[in-house]
């Protein structure tokens, strides 16, 4: 019988949130979402939730985008917010990996893809005609090896 003994708790690992967040578009038809649905999307790193909800971790004091590649925290340590500003007002600081405080689709939001896009623009202007990959990487503020890794990750090709 759950709850019969005071020392035993019958709380599930995922409890309904006191505060529910309304989804804004993206195929969710504006219905109210509960904690379990948000946490499941966070575990999947569902890109459809990016910008719709922000995930704050009580134990670290950090908030992230739902697509952040950091280790998924336990459900009991998570809170969801509808905006980055509301997470900051609650006392959380932005994640340094996914940059949730940045406006959507600005260079910080796109992460390393921005470096690859800048490199491609410089290559189109002839940066590799006048120099080598090391010189290109230097103009971007990264090492040649790191630039090659970014190209492999995003384009499956080398800078050359």
pLDDT digit string (tens) for the chain, length 160 residues: 444 444 443 333 333 333 333 333 344 434 456 888 889 888 998 888 888 889 999 999 999 998 888 899 999 999 999 888 899 999 999 998 888 887 666 666 666 778 888 888 888 888 788 878 888 888 888 888 988 888 888 888 888 7
Q: Which of 55, 62, 95, 133 is catalytic?
A: 95
d(CA 62, CA 94): 6
Q: Structure pTM? A: 0.52
Q: Which two tokens stand for residue 96?
A: 């340094």
For this structure, is 98 an active site residue?
Answer: yes
Task: Give the position of tokens 């990959």.
Answer: 133
For this structure, is 106 an active site residue?
Answer: no
Q: Which of 23, 64, 78, 87 is catalytic?
A: 64
d(CA 3, CA 63): 33
Q: Which of 23, 41, 62, 68 is catalytic?
A: 68
CATH 3.40.50.720 fits 35-94, yes or no: no
> 80 φ, ψ to 5°?
-115, 140
């Amino acid at each position: 019988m759950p709850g019969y003994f005071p020392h035993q708790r019958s709380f599930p690992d995922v409890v309904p949130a006191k505060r529910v967040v309304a989804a804004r578009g993206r195929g969710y038809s504006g219905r109210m979402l509960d904690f379990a649905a948000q946490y499941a999307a966070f575990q999947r790193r569902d890109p459809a939730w990016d910008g719709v909800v922000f995930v704050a971790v009580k134990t670290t004091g950090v908030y992230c985008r739902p697509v952040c590649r950091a280790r998924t925290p336990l459900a009991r340590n998570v809170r969801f917010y509808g905006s980055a500003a509301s997470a900051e007002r609650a006392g959380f600081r932005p994640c340094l990996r996914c940059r949730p405080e940045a406006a959507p689709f600005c260079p910080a939001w796109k992460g390393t893809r921005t470096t690859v896009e800048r490199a491609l623009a410089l290559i189109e202007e002839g940066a590799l005609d006048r120099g080598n990959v090391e010189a290109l990487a230097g103009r971007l503020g990264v090492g040649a090896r790191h630039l090659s890794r970014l190209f492999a990750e995003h384009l499956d090709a080398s800078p050359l």
